[in-house]
Amino acid sequence: MKKQVLVASALLITAFSFAQKNELKEADKALSGGDVTGAKAAIEAASPLIANADDKYKAQFYFLKGKTYFDMAQKGMEAINSFKTSQEAFDQLIEFEKSTKQKYTEEAKQVMAQMAGALVNSAVADNEKKEYSDAAQKLNMAYLLDKENNVDYLYYAASSAVNGSDYDTALDYYGQLKDLGYTGVSTQYVATNVETGEEEVFSSKQQRDLMVKAKSHKDPAEKVTESRLPEIVKNIALIYTQKGDTEKAIEAIKDARAANPEDINLLLTEANLYIKLDDKVKFQTLMEEAIQKDPNNSSLYYNLGVITAEQGDAAKAKEYYEKSLALDPDNENTNLNMASLILAGEQDIVDQMNNLGTSSADNKKYDELKKKREDIHRSSIPYLTKVLEVNPENPDAIRTLMNIYRGLGDSAKYKELQSRLDAIQQ
pLDDT at 261: 81
- Residue 111 CB partners (closer than 8 Å, separation 6+): 66, 67, 70, 90
Asked if 84 and 211 sit in the same domain, the reply is: no
Asked if 200 and 301 sit in the same domain, the reply is: no
pLDDT at 12: 39
Q: Which amino acid is it at 72? A: M
pLDDT at 19: 52
- Residue 89 CB partners (closer than 8 Å, separation 6+): 62, 63, 65, 66, 69
pLDDT at 2: 44
Asked if 318 and 191 sit in the same domain, the reply is: no
**Which residue in 101, 100, 103 sits closest to 64, CA to CA?**
103
Asked if 302 and 411 sit in the same domain, the reply is: yes
Asked if 359 and 384 sit in the same domain, the reply is: yes
Number of domains in the chain: 3
pLDDT at 343: 92
Asked if 175 and 191 sit in the same domain, the reply is: no
146/313 Cα distance (integer angstroms): 56
Asked if 15 and 93 sit in the same domain, the reply is: yes
Asked if 192 and 145 sit in the same domain, the reply is: no
CA–CA distance from 47 to each of 57, 60, 65, 77, 331 (Å)?
11, 12, 9, 20, 68
157/355 Cα distance (integer angstroms): 64
Residue 304 within a domain: yes
Ranges of beta strands (E only) in 129-273 are 187-193, 199-202, 217-224
Residue 237 within a domain: no
Mode of pairing for the β-strands spanning 199-202 and 217-224: unpaired
Asked if 65 and 161 sit in the same domain, the reply is: yes
Residue 230 within a domain: no
Residue 55 within a domain: yes
Per-residue model confidence as pLDDT tens for the chain (426 residues): 444 444 444 433 444 444 556 777 787 788 888 888 888 888 888 787 777 777 778 888 888 898 888 889 888 888 889 888 988 988 898 898 888 888 888 988 898 988 889 889 999 999 999 999 999 999 999 999 888 889 999 999 999 999 999 999 999 999 999 999 899 888 999 999 999 999 999 988 999 999 999 999 999 999 988 888 888 888 888 888 778 788 888 888 888 788 778 888 778 878 877 877 888 888 889 888 989 988 999 988 998 888 888 888 899 899 999 999 999 999 999 999 999 999 998 889 989 999 989 899 999 999 999 999 999 999 999 999 999 999 998 999 999 999 999 989 999 999 999 998 888 887
